[in-house]
Amino acid sequence: MVMTVIPATLNRAKDKLVIIDQTLLPNQERFLELDKAEDVWEAIKKLRVRGAPAIGIAAAFGLYVCSLRSQATTVADFKKEFEEIRDYLATSRPTAVNLFWALDRMTNRFDKEKHKTVDEIKQALLDESETILAEDQAMCKAIGEYGLSLLKPGMGLLTHCNAGGLATSGYGTALAPMYLGHQRGYDFRVYADETRPLLQGSRLTTYELAKAGIDVTLICDNMASLVMKEGKIDAVLVGCDRVAANGDTANKIGTSGVAILAKEYGIPMYILGPTSTIDLNTPTGEDIVIELRDEDEIGSGFGKRTAPKGVKAYNPAFDVTDAKYITAIITDKGIVRPPYTENLKNLFECER
C-alpha cells in the first residue's frame, strides 16, 4: 500500500493546482485549489506542500495553471508573463533543487514549442507538467527497489523528517523501500524522528506509515543515539533536497547529527532521492544556500509559546551531511557509493 493522496496534482478540469495542506496534518485533511501565483508561492513557502520532489511537481503544475490565466494573444507577450511567474515562484524556497529543475523543464518545453500558437504552448505546458508527475512516480518506485535490495526482513530502520508519499507522488523516496518491503512481508520496524521544529516526522511520517499498516514508532530527535546504542537500528534512510557534486547532502535540519551518530555506531547511512536532486554544478556542501526560516517556528510553534518573547532564535531549515558520513546514495538510476565526485558524475554519463 502506498499513499492514495498525491500531494500535488491537477483538478479534473485541469485548470487548478490541488494540494493537501500538510500544515494541518495529521488532525485535518484539507485540500486547496490554487491558480494564482501568489497562492502557489505561499503554499510552497509556508510548507503547505513540501518535500523536494513534491515541490518540483507543485511548481510545474503551478506555473502551468497560472500561465493558463494569461490573456496574451502573442507568443512574445505570453512568454513575458510566463517568465514573470516562473521567476516569482523561484523565490519561494532557495535550497530544494527540484524547484528550479522543474521550472527549467517547463521553460525548456516552452522554448521548444515557441513557434506554435499560445493555446498550443499552453497545451504543451500541461503535457510537460503531467509528465513530470508520471516520471516522479516511476522514479520513486525505482528508488524503492534499489533501496530494498540493501535491506533484510525484520530490520529496524530510522528515518528523519518526511520523505514519503506526502513529499513526492505516492511511494516517496526514503520511505519507498519501506512500502515495498511491507508489500512483500519484510516486517520492518520503523523509528521516526519527530523532526523539530515543525515535526514533519511526527505529523507526516507516522501519519502515512501508520495509515499503510507499517510498524512505526515515534521518537524525539534526541533519542536517536539511545535507540542506536540499544541495537534497535540496522540502517538509516533519509531523503535529500540537494546533493552536491562531491556527495555532500542537504536535507532537513537534524540529518547531519543522525549521520554522525550512525557512523559512530557502525550503522549504514543511506540517502535516497531522484537524480534531479543531484546538482553537479554545486561543487560541495559549502556552496549550498541554506534557507533561514522565521524564528517563531521555534519559539511559538503550533500556536503555543515555548520561549520568552523577544528571545533570539536561529532557525535553519536544512543542514549539510558531509559525504564521509554517507554509506550510499540511492537514486532511480542506481546505487552510488564513494568516491562520490567520480561516481555521481559517472551516473549521469551512463545516461547519455
Exposure b/e, 109-118, CB count within 10 A at least 16 = b:
bbeebeeeeb
In Å, the largest CA–CA distance within the chain is 66
Q: List the strands of the sheet with 318-321, edge to edge.
A: 278-279, 242-244, 249-252, 318-321
* Distance, CA of 178 to CA of 216 (rounded, Å): 10
* Distance, CA of 283 to CA of 242 (rounded, Å): 12
Which DSSP category does 303 fall into? Answer: G
pTM for the full predicted model? 0.86
Question: Which is the CATH superfamily of the domain at 142-349?
Answer: Translation initiation factor eif-2b; domain 2 (3.40.50.10470)
pLDDT for residue 5: 72
Give pairs for 78-81: CB < 8 Å, separation 24+. 78/118, 78/121, 79/110, 79/114
Tens of each residue's pLDDT in the chain, 352 residues: 555 578 999 999 999 999 999 999 999 999 999 999 999 999 999 999 998 889 999 999 999 999 999 999 999 999 999 999 999 999 999 877 889 999 999 999 999 999 999 999 999 999 999 999 999 999 999 999 999 999 999 999 999 999 999 988 878 999 999 999 999 999 999 999 999 999 999 999 999 999 999 999 999 999 999 999 999 999 999 999 999 999 999 999 999 999 999 999 999 999 999 898 899 999 999 999 999 999 999 998 777 899 999 999 999 999 999 999 999 999 999 999 999 999 999 998 876 5
* Distance, CA of 185 to CA of 89 (rounded, Å): 42
- Spell out the residues 6+ positions from residue 272 whose beta carbon is closer than 8 angstroms to its own: 143, 147, 163, 173, 174, 176, 177, 237, 238, 239, 240, 329, 330, 331
* Distance, CA of 121 to CA of 67 (rounded, Å): 10
Query: Which residues face 272 on adjacent strands?
Result: 330
* Distance, CA of 68 to CA of 209 (rounded, Å): 36
φ, ψ for residue 159 (rounded to 5)? Answer: -135, 160
Active-site residue list: 241
Question: Which is the CATH superfamily of the domain at 8-140?
Answer: translation initiation factor eif-2b, domain 1 (1.20.120.420)
Find out whether 30 and 85 touch, Cβ atoms under 8 Å: no
Element (H, E) at 237: strand 235-238
Residue 285 grid cell = 556542501
Domains in the chain: boundaries: 8-140, 142-349
- Say which residue the cell 525484520 belongs to: 154
